[in-house]
Amino acid sequence: MNCAYGVLEGECRRAINAVGLEPSVGFLHDFSSYQTKQSLVYDLQEPFRWLSDVSVIEAFESEALKLSDFYFTGDDYRYRFEMEAKQRFIGILRDRFNVGITYKGRLLKWDSVILEKTSELGKSLTFPSRVLDFSKPASTLERTDNNLIRAKILHLTQSEARNRGIGKSTLHYLRQKASGNGLFHVCAKTLSKLGS
């Protein structure tokens, strides 16, 4: 979680610096004169914390991270994780931040949404009559690997798949993933062919 929140903190700090706000003056977290504790950065993280949380859940469900990837260092009483596992996890975080969402008629990635919301915060401070709403854009978490989809994939015959326009290799991949317990993704085009 700390690694995921660190990445989110970096995105928020970058957006605050780009907009030109003072990172040490927040609204929810106490003001601090310490350079490392930047209250506005922590405030801005709150509406986007779910990005990190979902990434951690996905990493363990997909087995990109396993308990065996972590080790305890007795000298500072911290758990750390292997470099390869960290790189896999950063890839999952990158994928989550790169998911597109429509906001104000534009398709944006979440890092751009963070920048846009920070800009809106700056404008609302300058022009108090402007309404600031952090509930938009609303995030939707839709899984494409639910039990119904798994059952459809596992019961789909080769000829049915061919008739629906699903290739042999795609069906093999989907069956392999659907038969396991891990997280897997079915693209929208294939989902429509499955009749979902």
Domains assigned to the chain: 2-126 (1.20.120.920), 147-194 (no CATH)
Radius of gyration of the chain (CA): 21
User: In one letter, which amino acid is 55?
Assistant: S
Number of residues that make up the chain: 196
Per-residue pLDDT tens digits for 34-75: 555 688 999 999 999 999 998 888 888 777 888 888 777 777
- In the block, which residue shows the tokens 């003001």? 31
Q: 0.85 exceeded by the pTM?
A: no
**Residues 144/186, Cβ–Cβ less than 8 Å:** yes
Query: Quick one: which of 15, 42, 6 has its CA closest to 27?
Result: 42
Per-residue pLDDT tens digits for 130-160: 888 888 888 766 666 677 888 888 888 999 9
Q: Of all helices (H) and strands (E), which one includes residue 102?
A: strand 100-103
**Rounded Cα gap, residues 110 and 96, in angstroms:** 8
